[in-house]
Chains A and B, each alone.
Chain A
Amino acid sequence: MRRKQGGELPFHLMLIPGVVLVFIYSYIPMAGIVMAFKRLVPSKGMFGSPWVGWHNFEYMMHMPEISGVIWNTAFIAVMKMTAGVLVPVTFALMLNEARSRLFKRSVQTIIYFPHFLSWIILSGLLIDILSPSTGIVNELLRALGLKEIYFLGDPRWFPYTMVLSDTWKEFGYGTIVYLAALTGINPALYEAAALDGAGRLRQTLYVTLPGLLPMIVLMSVLSLGNVLNAGFEQIFNLYSPQVYRTGDIIDTLVFRIGLENANYGVATAVGLFKSVVSFGLIGASYVLAYRWTNYRIF
């Protein structure tokens, strides 16, 4: 009885253009993954180049301090992922409480600004702002009676500085996503809650937050794909030898190797390693999210 118009054929038709474009520009280049197991001899082409087995992976894994570098990467990335969910959600909720439309719109616009400044420009600014002797942040700390912090030069602080500055730069983007998700919450729910005597806080806790949950889960799962991407542009522009110990990440390491020797095999091998890890994490969390919430995120 519930037989609908059209069946599944229109779905396939809708997908065709996307499927074709993605096949051409994403799947064909994926053939290049074989480079992870080869040594590129350009004159022989990608497929004619000699196989080297796991050599590229071994080269990477035998780099001194590689385990430290992987740890730094994961540490910084996981913190960024966490902050990248918490901060935008909180801020979206805060904005949601603001009544003045002008204020809301201006703030919403302004927090997106830092996203438009490149790390090259920002790094110059941050070095000044965070300087222990002359930077404004440390002047504030001193005014509060605290000791100054060498944010960019102290290996203990460096990873946190990266997380904080990255969150500051990018939280505007996430906030917009959650604000859009807020529009999808049924106002009737608020009315019902209000009738039950729930104040604003409890409405937020019992209506807004659950309403946002699917989006929060989705964004968290997707961000897992970045567990080995700690942000090359940012760290490359801000790190220095004194913080290599905690600040050197996989991408900066690969970059420095590439400076000496444009070694595509190693670069591809590292990329593949990162992809496999991300794939595993996203796949696992996809399954877990489905088990727990019975919700398919994609």
Chain B
Amino acid sequence: MNNDASWERRTFVALNYAVMALVAVACLLPIVNVLALSLSSSAAAGSGQVKLWPVGFNLKSYEFVLGKPEFGRAFTVSLLRVAVGVPLNMLLTILVAYPLSKERKDFRFRWAYAWYFVTTMLFSGGLIPWYMTIKMTGIIDSFWALILPGAVPVMNVILLLNFFKSLPDEIEEAGLMDGAGRWQALWRIAVPLSAPAIATLTLFCIVNHWNSWFEGLILMNRPEHYPLQSYLQTVIVNRDMSLMSAVDVTKWSMISDRTSRAAQVIVALLPVLFVYPFLQKYFAHGIVMGSVKG
């Protein structure tokens, strides 16, 4: 690391930081705009005056959003969904990815299983059969409708199986020689060694459960059962104003309120912001190799 002193190196480092900082700013600005909107007066927001700084600063929209019973209810559903759905996702991902990461000589049927799962990424029967199947299994309008149909995230399985594959064979071989079974090899060796990958996939699962709104709208029979993003969708989505009658106008002024929509977006974003830094601990470099050497 002592060759870093050359001026090329320093220019490169400076440029590198500068470019990354610029990109980060570009990614941050929209959030800043939404944040500013959420803190502005509704009249200022409704006449397009708010850019990056609140106009007519106030916290009313947060009081409004957090005070709504629907919001709290939907928030709870989403938290529960993450709490149950993510561990289940991860358990199944690991259980499926591990056998599929084996070579053909160790697991003769791996190709059949692999294509069995990959096919589902490519072919689907469409919305109606999907809905009818879920209805048939009796979980429509229940919490499980948000959990079970997507319980095996095939994309994540493929990512994880590639991480498993990249693990040095010797460690596992050694373990098996010591008399450990397949199950022990999985839980005691493969999983701990893939901590960064598992942390990453956990993040994806959390985000996926937290962000998805479509299933909630279709599979729940009552708005009270919606998870947070489904509920948000109903307040954010552009409404077809052409069908409005005069009586809707008064209601319209309430739901059109951009500031509270912005506040809802910000509030929905917060939990993920809390989780991310925590998971980042596991993204750290060199966990795998450290243990190889040890």
Contact = CB atoms under 8 A, between A and B. Distances in A.
Interface of A: 4-6, 8, 10-12, 14-15, 17-19, 21-22, 24-33, 35, 40, 46, 91, 94-95, 97-99, 103, 105-118, 120-122, 125, 168, 172-173, 176-177, 179-184, 186-188, 199-200, 214-215, 218, 222, 225, 264, 267-268, 271-272, 275, 278-279, 282, 297-298
B interface: dominant SS: helix
Given A11-B107, A25-B133, A28-B133, A107 B24 contact: yes
A32 B269 contact: no
A278 B99 contact: no
Interface stretch (B62-70, B71-79, B249-257, B276-284): B276-284
Contact of B33 (A95, A125, A272, A279): A125
Contact of A14 (B19, B96, B154, B176): B96
Contacts of B121: 225
A264 B289 contact: no
Given A11-B107, A24-B133, A183-B285, A4 B16 contact: no
B95 A275 contact: no
Contacts of B238: 120
Contact of A5 (B155, B176, B196): B176
Interface string B73-109: 0000000000000000000100110111010001111
Given A22-B152, A117-B265, A95 B20 contact: yes
Given A107-B21, A107-B23, A298-B161, 11 more contacts: A18-B157, A25-B134, A29-B129, A30-B123, A32-B129, A33-B126, A109-B277, A168-B26, A180-B199, A218-B158, A267-B126
Top 3 closest pairs, chain A to chain B, by CB:
A32-B125, A32-B129, A11-B99
A50 B228 CA distance: 41
A116 B272 contact: yes
15 contacts: A10-B99, A12-B109, A15-B113, A21-B92, A21-B152, A22-B154, A98-B20, A182-B285, A187-B286, A199-B9, A222-B158, A267-B126, A268-B125, A282-B118, A298-B161
A115 B154 CA distance: 20
Nearest to A281: B122
A29 B133 contact: yes
A interface: dominant SS: helix
A72 B265 CA distance: 32
Contacts of A22: 116-117, 120, 152, 154
B99 A176 contact: no
Interface residues of B, number: 100
B148 A184 contact: no
Contacts of A272: 123
A6 B161 contact: no
Contact of A110 (B12, B28, B200): B28
B287 interface: yes
A98 B21 CA distance: 11
B181 to A, nearest CB: 5
Nearest to A126: B30
